[in-house]
Amino acid sequence: MSDRLSMRSILQPKQVAQALYHPAWIPASVDPSVDRLKKARIIAGAVAAFGVYTFVQRKFAFEEVLENMLTASAVVLFITPLTVGLMLVVWRRTGTVRQMRVPLLNSLKLLLFFIGSVVGLVFLWQGTMSLGGFWLVPLGFTALWLTGMVVYGAVQVSGNFFGTAAVHRSLPPLLATVTTWLMAVPDLVTGDLHGLSLTMGIVFILGAPVTVTGIALLEMRRLKRRYGIRLAAHPATPPRIPAQGRAHPQGNPYGPAQGNPYHQGAPQPPYYPPPQQHPYGPGSYQPHNGRNPYGG
């Protein structure tokens, strides 16, 4: 976890969500501008999750919200491992999967924990509404606390997408794009416009995935141009940073830290920053005794 929880902090769902859904092994962002793009992507993703038609028609069906939460959880549980698996096939051309085993397992555990929290929340609300009576107060307060934790947790995992940035910096925007499109396409195929007119339905159904895609592409483009982080390149591949794309934060004449989480044996300045400025933080893979970083 990112923080130790005390008895007092456990009562605050925001602190619990921060500790559970943004653990210490998730790397910090390499650039403040990338953080701003992530926040914009989170907002657009929230619009896709809750549905703009709810606000347009001024309707709120709580049962439908619970059903949508289960549907979204199933989509994320299916599409996240599938997308990462396809990228592993691509990366195997230039490296090994063995190097990414630890961050992959950590991300999978975080994904399963979050999905379990959402499913537990849905069944808790359904039980609270069906039982009523004496159970309404204790179950209701528990459901409200868990709702707050899941909402704050959703904000955290929307930014880091279950810590997949520890595997590859470009995975979170890729996963956000694939997920939002997968949630929007069925409505277009089935013609379910949620009571809106044809024009408004298409605009609002496609608005969120198109916005998320645009922001994700900007995020990946910035990672590629300024830090040499390429989605198709194995994470252990040394970055190729164009001279005109190098940033110089805080007066650093050698440019930003590279986006490579496994290879720290690259040449030192003037082409790369000192090892302590590595963007993935401590605990990443380091080759030993000059051996090939891909194993063997």
Q: Is the pLDDT of residue 40 over 90?
A: no
> Residue 261: pLDDT band by 50, 70, 90 thresholds?
very low
DSSP alpha helix (H) spans, the chain: 7-10, 13-21, 32-50, 52-56, 62-91, 101-131, 136-160, 171-190, 198-227
Contact 75, 183 (CB under 8 A): yes
Rounded Cα distance, 253 and 73, in Å: 45
**Does residue 98 have a pLDDT over 70?**
yes
Radius of gyration (Cα) for the chain, nearest Å? 21
Q: How confident is the model at residue 91 (pLDDT cuts 50, 70, 90)?
A: very high
Model confidence at 114, pLDDT cuts 50, 70, 90, reads: very high
Q: Give, rounded to a whole angstrom, the gap between the first and last alpha carbons of the chain.
A: 33
Cβ–Cβ under 8 Å, residues 162 and 114: yes
- Looking at the chain, the whole-number percentage of residues with pLDDT higher than 90 is 17
Number of neighbouring beta carbons within 10 Å of residue 166:
26
CA pseudo-torsion sign 50, 51, 55, 57: negative
Inform me whether the pLDDT recorded for 70 exceeds 50.
Answer: yes
* Tokens 């347009």 sit on residue: 56
Among 270, 37, 16, which residue's Cα sits nearest to residue 152? Answer: 16
Quote the CA–CA distance of 180 and 81 in Å, as a whole number.
15
Q: Average pLDDT for residues 280-292, to the nearest whole number? A: 46
The per-residue pLDDT for 102 is 92
In the prediction, which pLDDT does 254 show? 35
**Other Cβ atoms closer than 10 A to 192:** 12
User: Using one digit for the tens of pLDDT, what is the confidence trace for 194-236?
Assistant: 666 777 777 777 877 888 888 889 889 988 888 888 999 988 8
pTM for the whole structure:
0.72
pLDDT level of residue 278 (50, 70, 90 thresholds): very low
**Model confidence pLDDT, tens digit, residues 231-259:** 999 888 877 766 554 444 443 333 343 34
Per the CB < 8 A criterion, the answer to whether 195 and 135 are in contact is: no
Question: Residue 165 corresponds to which amino acid?
Answer: A
Which of left, alpha, beta for 97 (phi over 0: left; psi -120 to 50: alpha)?
alpha
Q: Is 28 exposed, middle or buried (0-12, 13-18, 19+ CB in 10 A)?
A: exposed
Token pair for residue 169? Answer: 């910096």
Give 282 or 124, the one with higher predicted confidence.
Answer: 124
For 144, phi then psi, to 5°, come to -65, -45
pLDDT value of position 112? 94
- Measured CA to CA, the distance from residue 185 to residue 4 in angstroms comes to 41
Reported as a pLDDT band with limits 50, 70 and 90, residue 14 is confident
Q: What is the mean pLDDT of the chain?
A: 75
User: Which pLDDT tens digit goes with each residue over 121-175?
Assistant: 999 988 888 887 777 788 888 888 999 899 888 888 877 889 898 999 999 999 9
C-alpha 39/C-alpha 196 separation (Å) is 28
The pLDDT value recorded for residue 57 is 54
Look at residue 53 and tell me whether its pLDDT is greater than 80.
Answer: no
The answer, yes or no, to whether residue 29 has pLDDT greater than 90, is no
| Amino acid making up residue 84 | V
Mean pLDDT of 90-113: 90
Q: Which tokens hold the place of 63?
A: 């049962």
